[in-house]
Amino acid sequence: MQHDFRQVDVFTTEPYRGNPVAVVLSAEGLSDEGMQRFAHWTNLSETTFVLSPTDAGADYRVRIFTPVAELPFAGHPTLGTCHAWLEAGGTPAAGDAIVQECAAGLVSIRRTPDGLGFAAPPLIRSGPVDEDELAHVAATLDLDRGAVVAAEWADNGPGWVALLLESAEAVLAVKPGLVDHDVGLVGPHPAGADAAFELRAFFPKDGATIEDPVTGSLNASVAQWLLRTGRATAPYVAAQGTALGRAGRVHISADDGGAIWVAGGTVTCISGSVEL
Beta-bridge partner residues of 47 = 22, 65
Calculate the average pLDDT of the chain.
95
**pLDDT reading at 122 higher than 90:** no
Mean pLDDT of 33-62: 97
pTM summary value: 0.94
- pLDDT bin (cut points 50, 70, 90) of residue 156 is confident
**Per-residue model confidence (pLDDT) at position 221:** 95
Segment 192-202 shows an average pLDDT of 97
What mean pLDDT do residues 198-216 have? Answer: 94
pLDDT (tens digit per residue) in 168-187? 999 999 999 999 999 999 99
Q: Are 146 and 163 in contact (CB under 8 A)?
A: no
**What pLDDT is recorded for position 95?**
82
- 33 belongs to the catalytic site: no
pLDDT, position 141: 97
Q: How far apart are CA 121 and CA 119, in angstroms?
A: 6
The stretch 152-156 carries a mean pLDDT of 91
Residue 229: what are its φ and ψ, rounded to 5°?
A: -95, 5
**pLDDT at residue 30, as a whole number:** 97
- Domains of the chain with CATH codes: 2-119+263-275 (3.10.310.10), 131-258 (3.10.310.10)
Say whether pLDDT at 205 is over 90. no
pLDDT (tens digit per residue) in 133-147: 999 999 999 999 999
CB atoms within 10 A of CB 39: 25
Closest C-alpha among 109, 16, 5 to residue 50: 5
Catalytic residue among 14, 28, 33, 46: 46
Buried b (16+ CB within 10 A) or exposed e, 176-185: beebebbbbb
**pLDDT cut 90: percent of the chain above it:** 91
Q: Above 90 in pLDDT, residue 193? A: yes
Percent of the chain with pLDDT over 70: 100
CA dihedral sign of residues 146, 148, 149, 150 = negative
Which tens digit of pLDDT belongs to each residue from 208-257?
999 999 999 999 999 999 999 999 999 999 999 999 999 999 999 999 99
